[in-house]
Chains A and B, each alone.
Chain A
Amino acid sequence: MDQKNDSHEPVIIFEAVSIGFDEKQVLNKLSFTLPHGETKVLFGEAGTGKTLVLKLALGLIKPDSGRITVLGHEVTAMKERDLFALRQRIGMVFQESALFDSLNVKDNVSFRLREERMPPDEITRRVDDALRFVELEHTVDMFPAELSGGMRRRVAIARAIVAEPELLLYDSPTAGLDPVTSTTIVELLVKQRDVYKTSALLVTHRLQDAFIMANHAFDRKQNKMIAVPPGWEWDAKTSFLVLKGGDKIFEGTAAEIANSDSPYIREYLTQ
């Protein structure tokens, strides 16, 4: 399980994945791939199965039919006990953060490292690095209940990246946050993408977040996110995938979605 995925192979492959609940089909033969180093943004109205896609990729839920391959492993054919080792190579940021409320920030962020029996000095160093990345070094002894919504999301991001995962899954990391905090979170995602080149699947309702992801890069010299000037050499790719009623209705780049002729997408973009 510890072998790395071939960098030419897609990180995630969904092949005709279907799932339904209470006789309602939520995903209908969904197929897509997430190439190595790319960020794919999932759009869609509430209830179209975006969060479900992330949980299916992690193997937290099994589909009714279809095949899902993540980091070279077919998760749909794996048993729960075998999935734990694969999940250690993936970071997930839940919509409501899902921080352990009885643990402080340090213990939350270091949870996986302690599970791996890492030496305490190394744990402290990695936790400090992760909290510095999300600019929350001062919260190390605080409990989740003492943090604001935006801070909790940032701690959740720190927890997801602390073990240096090969794949990141973000479930609406900016939902319910004010525009300033949302931009801070998006900047962190851009920084993670451009500095560590981590492949990611991002679920969001906010179009502006997705377009910022597509049109901005992280400048390490200035230590901030900057708009990508035209003609700039840039290897970070961000693509879009739109779901509607369980079906994939669009997959492509920011430019392609902006010029889409689909009435639904046009309406979605103008809302």
Chain B
Amino acid sequence: MYNLPEVVTMTAHNVLDKPVALDWPGNFWAHWGIYTVGIVLVVLLVVMGFIWFERRLLGPFQLRIGPNRCGPFGLLQPVADAVKVLLKEDIVPVLADKVVHFLAPIIVFVPVLLIFAVIPFQDGVGLIPDFNVGILFIIAVGSFETVAVFMAGYGSNNKYALISAMRGVAQMLSYEIPMVLAVVAVLLVTQSLSMQEIVRQQTVPFILLLPMSFLLYFIGALAELQRTPFDLLEADSEIVAGYHIEYSGMKFAMFYLGEYGSAFAISAIITTVFLSGWKGPFLPPFLWFFIKAFAVFALIIWIRSTWPRVRIDQLMAFAWKFMLPLSLINIVIVAIEVLVWPAGLPWGLVFLNIGIMVVLLTLWAGMFKLRGGPQIES
């Protein structure tokens, strides 16, 4: 019953959904060139938008206003910051591993751009929106960011950067597993790895149909992005920066860019996989995509302004003792549902699945224990 591809292919005829692109001058390469440039521009623009959006939105949560002087509504503030950071001195520690130190900020931004190659911004609009192993590609490329984090920590020749990078790698690897297993449950339902196909099959958004998967993926995404409540290695208010403590000027800006770029990437993935991507009434489809991505990011900011951060032992225990077993149970439940309704899950399952989620969370939270130290109060 599974239609997994026998061979992973990426030719012009295979990857292009609409034949229109083939009629363009230069065939596939024109499509490739235009979309590559377009995606890079869109990602950079949205990253600047995200930086502005976060600062503007954190304002009211802290009873202040946020940037409002530079341009209308403070929209040009990220531009001003970028200019400032470009003009700053770039300091490399004497004993740093120069090559690794130089490469880390470049590598940190690459997976972000690669992820957007397979994201459908609209039905059939994207570099390769119907890539037949799309979500697998995203998971494979997305975990590449871990390497950049460790390169930054190692190359800086700073013990604090190294400790932070080690913890960061441990955190990213631990939360990668429940995240991937949460996506597996989605794939059981769609029976396709293509991002475009996943969106097309969502008559009911998967956030309602598979709430457990969404919750696990979202928590995993927060940890993967190293945002509150899992930002203990950056911890703005306590320690300075974590693994990029020895970076300044443009290199620091690249880390900043990578951080917000992956926030956009995760928002886009959640939008595509759980929030039915471009689908929506009245407005044009690509606009719906961006609205949903910004809404997901707004939720992340809301959480940032509210929750305290966890300790490192709580962090690891939560990943391995709470989220991993739950994601395995979730896969089993979804697999049974898919076997019972092979033609596609009926929308009535929304209520059943939400009930199952509440019961499972309650049971598992009751059994969750940290050994030593105070317990997590949920």
> Are A and B physically bound partners?
no
B-binding residues in A (CB < 8 A): none
